[in-house]
Amino acid sequence: MGLLSICSLSFCQECSREFLENVDFPGTDITSVYSPDVEHCQLLCTQHPSCLFFTFVRADWTVDNRHFYCYLKSTPSGKPKVQNPLQGVTSGYSLKPCNPDPSSCLSQVYQNVDFFGADYRVLFTSDHEECQRVCTQDPQCQFFTFVNDIFTSENIRYKCHLKYSWSVPRTPIVERKDGVVSGFSHKIQLTPFFKPACQNKLFPNTDIPGNNLETLPAASPEHCQTLCSAHPRCTYFSYDSNFNCDMKSNGNEMVTRAKQGVTSGIPVHFCQLDNNWLKLAHEGVDFRGSDIRFELMDDPDTCQKTCTVDPNCQFYTYVNETFFDSDYRRRCYLKRVITMPAPPKVTKLNNVVSGFSLRDCN
């Protein structure tokens, strides 16, 4: 049924912050992502729902061009099956057992490293410090790349590229399933703003066709509006009864048409979203995947409260006594996705400087 878990290995493990330089944990990969350094790779492993340890390929790796690869890994035992000496890599463990702060200060800047892609705005600044300040002040900027004054192409020198990755939880799969209840932690921080309250604008039974930017699963029109509000290029959205959130981008016009079962709307800017939609439980809806662990509980309310008090949990699915397979009944699946700044690609490039927003460094 897709509701599987590694149990609660993160609670069984000891807190281990050490890095093992020139040591490889071969095999048992969950996925690979990009990181500019081993500390960032460790934080990605910590936020990934099932990663327990990792191997990072450093910039001094010489075998091939896989620099900055961060291999996220797991085993049923919670420990690597084998450790091999290997020049150019560093390995370590998830910080889940260390109860880490959900937000981390990423103050390091990286010379001759490009955070390739994910641009949403460009401007010219005098140096990389100013580029970083602009990124820090822009609530949607997660990281940046600055082109310095000796870059090969003169036409793009001093160019500051502001970049984005998802900072709000996305439910990877939302689908109807009898006998389950799903919902969200009540403590998710959706926006960095606290005043004033936003005026939500939704248009029931209305579609805004075309201009598609990205489609993500969402549990409700309000969830879809939150996703659109967090994306710097989303200008409006349409949400249908199959849990599809179609984010759209066109700053010139918004053409609507009547359509049953579709709710459209516009994002909010520089205000505090109404988060009452987070408190709704969705009967007969499964948030499939992204399991941290499961625990046995008597009711969905207890599951929701457990998710809310767990700083790692962002959303949950509870399996009722009415579920067709008795082996899964009473399971509360606690779930999360990566929400820290995560460049889609990291590469070597001479005479550029990359780094992160400093909003979490105060």
Q: If you count them, how many residues does the chain have?
A: 362
Spatial distance between the Cα atoms of 66 and 39, rounded to a whole number of angstroms = 18
The number of domains in the chain is: 4
Q: Annotate the chain with three-state secondary structure.
A: CCCCCCCCHHHHCCCCCCCEEEEECCCCEEEEEECCCHHHHHHHHHHCCCCCEEEEECCCCCCCCCCCEEEEECCCCCCCCCCEEEEEEEEEECCHHHCCCCCCCCCCCEEEEEECCCEEEEEECCCHHHHHHHHHHCCCCCEEEEECCCCCCHHHCCEEEEECCCCCCCCCEEEEEEEEEEEECCCCCCCCCCCCECCCEEECCEECCCCEEEEEECCCHHHHHHHHHHCCCCCEEEECCCCEEEEECCCCCCCCEECCCCEEEECCCCCECCCHHHHCCEEEEEEECCEEEEEECCCHHHHHHHHHHCCCCCEEEEECCCCCCHHHCCEEEEECCCCCCCCCCEEEEEEEEEEECCHHHC
What is the domain-level CATH number for residue 36?
3.50.4.10
- Residue ending a domain, among 93, 117, 132, is 93
Residue 305 and residue 293 in one domain: yes
Residue 284 and residue 218 in one domain: no
Residue 228 and residue 158 in one domain: no
Instruction: Please indicate, yes or no, if residue 23 is contained in any of the structural domains.
Output: yes
Instruction: Please indicate, yes or no, if residue 178 is contained in any of the structural domains.
Output: yes
What would the pLDDT profile of 74-120 be if each residue is shown by its tens digit?
999 999 999 999 999 999 999 998 877 767 899 999 999 999 999 99
Instruction: Please indicate, yes or no, if residue 2 is contained in any of the structural domains.
Output: no
The tokens describing 11, both together, are: 């609670």
Check if the beta carbon of residue 102 is closer than 8 Å to that of residue 168. no
Instruction: Please indicate, yes or no, if residue 260 is contained in any of the structural domains.
Output: yes
Task: Quote the pLDDT of residue 12.
Answer: 57
Task: Quote the pLDDT of residue 137.
Answer: 95
Pseudo-torsion of CA 207, 208, 213, 219, nearest 10°?
-30
**Over its length of 362 residues, how does the chain's per-residue pLDDT go in tens digits?**
343 333 444 445 789 999 999 999 999 999 999 999 999 999 999 999 999 999 999 999 999 999 999 999 999 999 999 999 999 999 999 999 887 776 789 999 999 999 999 999 999 999 999 999 999 999 899 999 999 999 999 999 999 999 999 999 999 999 999 999 999 999 987 766 667 888 888 999 999 999 999 999 999 999 999 999 999 999 999 999 999 999 999 999 999 999 999 999 999 988 888 888 999 999 999 999 999 999 999 999 999 999 999 988 999 999 999 999 999 999 999 999 999 999 999 999 999 999 999 999 97
Q: Partners of 217 in the beta sheet? A: 244
Pseudo-torsion of CA 262, 238, 167, 56, nearest 10°?
100
Residue 30 and residue 80 in one domain: yes
Task: Quote the pLDDT of residue 101.
Answer: 72
Task: Quote the pLDDT of residue 100.
Answer: 74
Instruction: Please indicate, yes or no, if residue 103 is contained in any of the structural domains.
Output: no
Domain assignment of residue 348, given as a range: 109-165+340-356
